[in-house]
Structure formats: C-alpha cells, structure tokens
Structure 1
Amino acid sequence: MKTAVSVPDDIYAHAERVAKTHGLNRSQFYSIAVKRYADELESAELTSAIDAVVELVNADESTASAVSAGRRAIAADDESW
C-alpha cells in the first residue's frame, strides 16, 4: 500500500542515512520502524494491564490465597495423569 506522510527534514535525512547504511530502501526502513514502534506501544499497554492486575492481587490477601489454592488444585490434578 502506498501512503504519504510528512516528516521533519532532519528526521528524514537521518532515516535515509541509516537505511542506506543498512542496505534498506526507504519503504523497507519505514515499514520496519513503524512495526517496531507499534509493537512497542502494544507491549507497553499489555505491561500496564499486567502491572494493574499484579497491584490488585498484591493489595488483597484473599486473592493471593485463592491463587495458591488454585495452583494446589492444578498440581493435584496433574498428578492424576
């Protein structure tokens, strides 16, 4: 897919230099850069969600007890196999 974006001159020049140094054409370079940044943002969102759950679990001892009980039940079930 073709698209057009506006990029500041200094960033454009930097991207061109780096792409050339690594044997990439402009499309390859921008595709890699956009994918990596999008993945990084999604990963940060997931990390934040996990951190929120961990904080919630740590704040409530009954939750920790429930998790422990669940782990024991799973371990006991695994032994029956």
Structure 2
Amino acid sequence: MKIALSIPDELFDSAETLGKRLGVSRSRLYATALADFVAKHQGRKVTARLDAVYATEDSRLDAATRRLQARSLPRDSW
C-alpha cells in the first residue's frame, strides 16, 4: 500500500543515512520501523489487560500456605 506522510527533515535525513548503511530500501526501512513500533505498543496493550485482570485477584497467601512456606525456609541467624 502506498501512503504519504510528513516528517521532520532531520528525521528523514537520519532515516536515509541508516537505510543506505543497512542496504535497505526506504520502503523496507519505514515498514520495519512501523512494524517494530506496532509490536511494542501491542505488547503494552497485553500488559495493561493482564494488569487489569490481576488487579481484581486476591494475591495474598492463605494462612496454611504461608505457614508451610515459612517452615520451608532455613533458619539463619542475622
């Protein structure tokens, strides 16, 4: 798909330099950058959803589990 967009001259120049250094076309460079950006932000969306789910869950240990866990730890003198 073809698109038109406006970006600052400095960013364009940096992208051109990077594309030449990597030996990739402008289209490939921009597509890769956009794909990375989308993936990064989708990951944040998943994290936000998981945070929302776990925010409603009780994270405390029940008393029996807490006692068993405490017994399993070695006794060290500080």
Fold shared by both chains (TM-score > 0.5):
yes
Structure of higher CA gyration radius? 2
Alignment of 1:1-81 (within 5 A): 1-58=1-58
Looking at structure 1, the residues matched to 54 and 29 of structure 2 have their Cα atoms a distance apart, in angstroms, of 37
Structure having greater relative contact order (Cα 8 Å, sep ≥ 6): 2
Unaligned runs of 5+ in 2: 63-78
Of Structure 1 and Structure 2, which has the larger fraction of its residues in helix? 1
The 2-side partners of 1:24 and 1:52 are apart by 40
Amino acid at match of 1:34: L
Q: Which ranges in structure 1 are unaligned for 5 or more consecutive residues?
A: 66-81
Identity of aligned residues (%): 29
By how many angstroms is 1:55 displaced?
Answer: 2.2
Return closer, same or farther for 1:57/1:25 CA change in 2, 3 Å cut-off. same
How far did 1:16 drift? Answer: 0.7
Amino acid at match of 1:46: V
Q: Which moved more, 1:27-36 or 1:46-55?
A: 46-55
Q: CA deviation at 1:28?
A: 0.2
TM-score under structure 1 length normalisation: 0.67
